[in-house]
Amino acid sequence: MSPLRQALDDYLTMRRRLGYKLERAEKLLAQFLVYLDEVGADHVTVEHALAWARLPADSDPSWWSFRLSVVRGFAAYLHALDPAAEVPAAELLPWRRRRATPYLYTDAEIAALLAACASLRFPLRVTTYRTLLGLLAVSGLRVGEAIRLDRGDLDLDRGLLLVRDSKFGKSRELPLHATAVRALRTYLRRRQRLQPGPQAEALFVSLAGTRLRYSNVNWTFLRLVRRAGLEPRSATCRPRLHDLRHSFAVRTVLDAYRADSDVQARLPLLSTYLGHVDPAATYWYLSAAPELLALAGQRLERYLETRP
């Protein structure tokens, strides 16, 4: 094993012990080391980092910036061990990430997405995607959390779902509504009939009986979006998988407002349910919902009317 390869293994091990997943970073840094080997370099330089980061040449500048940021973290680690390793400055290939405007799904749009699953080619894919999207809509799970679920993480008798080692190494237990439990029970029966011997322990499986991959799930989702007739609401507001989670959060708080519940008391519970480390992340989820702002304004008006 080359010294750089060993250093990369040590770097990834250290960061993962701090709670980082680094799945994409590991792939990119491995590619960067292959590039260094091809150009005959035995240590990291700013010149090589920039040249590699700008590949492919027709990519979006945001992708270049991300690639360089991955190398920058590794280079900083190397520099602490070997001053010859150069660290690309933060000013190189700058790009400020802008959050997409959330696409808040209506109940009718979610129903249309689930109905569009019938257009998929094989019965197993139909039932898998219908159940997966339905679970995302009613639980607020991250997509990665859902496809990492194992069959043993679902307790149908108690109506509980165990989400293991998610973001920042956190695990949590989610209670499910009885209708969600019934849908998952039905899926497992159909899955057993259509794919009797899955190769993986995964809850949601592919036609080959293996765990679903995010790239395939996202590709299929975009196909279902077109089939369901969902259109972008603006250049920055397009239907995304992650927005099922966002929509769940907003609907939960809307229900609390409509029931005249103590919303502030429920927000920490929602934050825990969603698996947020910082409640501020939950507040951001709610900031782009005009209906929420309107209900909050109405409650404020009622409060002010009771004051002298």
Assess whether 117 and 179 both reside in one domain: yes
Confirm if 170 and 158 have CB atoms less than 8 A apart.
no
Contact indicator for 54, 32 with CB cutoff of 8 Å: no
CA gyration radius, the chain: 23
Q: Reduce the DSSP state of residue 237 to 3 states and report it.
A: strand
Please, is 192 exposed, middle or buried when counting C-beta atoms within 10 Å of its C-beta (0-12, 13-18, 19+)?
exposed
Considering the domain architecture, whether residues 127 and 219 belong to the same structural domain is answered as yes
Looking at the domain assignment, is residue 90 inside a domain? no
Enclosing H/E stretch for 161: strand 160-163
> What pLDDT sits at residue 229?
96
Given 21, 43, 54, 242, the catalytic residue? 242
- Picking from 65, 81, 97, the residue at the C-terminal end of a domain is 81
Q: Count how many residues are written for the chain.
A: 308
For residue 238, indicate whether it is catalytic: no
Structural domain range at position 265: 243-305
Q: Do 115 and 154 sit in the same domain of this protein?
A: yes
pLDDT for the residue numbered 77: 94
Residue 86 covered by a domain: no
**Residue 28 belongs to some domain of the structure:** yes
Does 222 lie in the same domain as 270?
A: no
User: Do both 218 and 280 map to the same domain?
Assistant: no
Number of domains in the chain: 3
Final residue of a domain: which of 81, 101, 117? 81
For residue 297, how many C-alpha atoms fall within 13 Å in the half-sphere facing its CB? 6
Exactly one of 43, 167, 223, 238 is catalytic; which is it? 167
Helix (H, G, I), strand (E, B) or coil at 5: helix
302 noted as active-site residue = no
Nearest CA to 198 out of 206, 135, 190 is that of 206
Do 278 and 218 belong to one domain? no
Same domain, 113 and 190: yes
Establish if 101 belongs to a structural domain: no
Check if 167 is active-site. Answer: yes
Name residues whose C-beta falls within 8 Å of residue 19's C-beta, 6 or more positions apart in sequence: 168, 169
Q: Tell whether 89 is covered by a domain.
A: no
Q: Kindly state whether residue 99 falls inside one of the protein's structural domains.
A: no
Which contiguous run of DSSP H or E holds residue 7?
A: helix 3-17
* DSSP character at residue 99: P
Question: Could you tell me if 202 and 271 lie in one domain?
Answer: no
- 207 and 286 in a common domain: no
pLDDT profile of the chain (308 residues), mean per 10: 90 87 91 94 94 90 91 94 92 76 90 97 96 96 94 96 81 94 96 84 93 94 97 88 90 78 76 76 65 54 58
130 and 27: one domain? no
In the set 48, 67, 130, 142, the catalytic residue is: 142
| Cβ atoms 93, 50 nearer than 8 A | yes
Residue 17 located in a structural domain = yes
Do 222 and 247 sit in the same domain of this protein? no
Catalytic residue among 77, 105, 187, 285: 285
Residue that is last in its domain, among 205, 228, 251: 228
Long-range contacts of 46-55 (CB under 8 A, 24+ apart): 46/86, 46/87, 46/88, 46/89, 46/92, 49/75, 49/86, 49/88, 50/88, 50/92, 50/93, 53/88, 53/93, 54/93
242 in catalytic set: yes
In a domain, 96, yes or no: no
pLDDT score, position 176? 95
**Chain CA centroid to CA 263, Å:** 26
Q: Are 238 and 99 in contact (CB under 8 A)?
A: no
Q: Could you tell me if 70 and 15 lie in one domain?
A: yes
